[in-house]
Amino acid sequence: MNILLIEDNLSIQKALKYLFEQNNYNLISATNILESKNIINKTNIDLILLDISLPDGNGLNFFKTLNNKIPVIFLTANDLEENIVDSLNLGAEDYITKPFSTKELLARVKRVLVRINKNSIIKVKDISFDMDKMCVYKNNKKIELTSLELKLLHLLFLNINKVVTRNTILDKIWEITGNDVDDHTITVYFKRIREKLNTDIIKTIKGIGYRIDEE
């Protein structure tokens, strides 16, 4: 599995190379766009970690030239909402702002690679979620959830190590059911999901939302 890191900060390059090698990934580093193009032309790259600000150009503009042929996660010190929205609208897999948690970055990379490799099962502790079949298992035994409960849990698994806000959940419920619900209803839904799973993988982030952390 070849991951291309396009980042001109050598300290970040060194730290991430060690991190990814410890997790059995081959990380190839480039400091600019020209160097990156040469690597891409010669090597089969499975995923790109791309900084927006580079010495010889803008990462967003370079991303457009890839035509979504290679999945990209943006790494950027620029957390302007318009840049984040632009990157996602262009088809980027994800973005992460600096400074970032290496654990979080690794989790997001794994999530993208799971989809690429069509290994659709994500496991956290004793709970496994088959993302293709939309089924949940506890120690290989299927857990029966309602359609809405399943979709809400799916939302958390899609965002491993990342908080899903209550507003996002409200929007998701509206999208699925057409019903306008309140915060209390969200609390009830997740209480039921937790009871059925009988596990502590779903964390409540008080006043913000919910999160599932990778082990």
Q: Tell me: the pLDDT tens digits for 157-172?
A: 888 888 899 998 998 8
Q: Residues 111, 10: one domain?
A: yes
**Domain residues for 92?**
2-116
Q: Residues 31, 59: one domain?
A: yes
Q: Residues 202, 182: one domain?
A: yes
Last residue of a domain, one of 93, 116, 139: 116
Q: Residues 101, 139: one domain?
A: no
CB 56 within 8 A of CB 33: yes
Q: Residues 108, 201: one domain?
A: no
Q: Respond yes or no on whether the N-terminal peptide bond of residue 99 is cis (omega within 30° of 0).
A: yes
Q: Which helix (H) or strand (E) holds 19?
A: helix 10-22
Last residue of a domain, one of 70, 99, 116: 116
Q: Residues 108, 190: one domain?
A: no
CATH number for the domain spanning 140: value is 1.10.10.10
Mean pLDDT (the chain, rounded): 87
CATH number for the domain spanning 32: value is 3.40.50.2300
CA atoms within 13 A on the CB side of 122: 27
Q: How far is CA 113 from CA 12, 31, 183, in A?
A: 21, 23, 34
Q: Residues 151, 86: one domain?
A: no
Residues 18-24: what's their mean pLDDT? 86
pLDDT in tens, 112-136: 887 676 557 888 999 999 877 889 9
Q: Residues 110, 131: one domain?
A: no
Q: Residues 6, 100: one domain?
A: yes
Q: Residues 60, 131: one domain?
A: no
pLDDT in tens, 39-85: 999 998 989 999 988 999 988 889 988 877 889 999 887 666 566 67
pTM: 0.56
Number of domains in the chain: 2
Cα separation, 82 vs 130, in Å, equals: 33
Specify the pairing of strand 121-124 against strand 127-130.
Answer: antiparallel
CA atoms within 13 A on the CB side of 176: 16
Q: Residues 20, 107: one domain?
A: yes
CB 103 within 8 A of CB 123: no
Place 196 in a pLDDT band, splitting at 50, 70 and 90: very high
Q: Residues 193, 98: one domain?
A: no
CB 211 within 8 A of CB 164: yes
Last residue of a domain, one of 67, 99, 116: 116
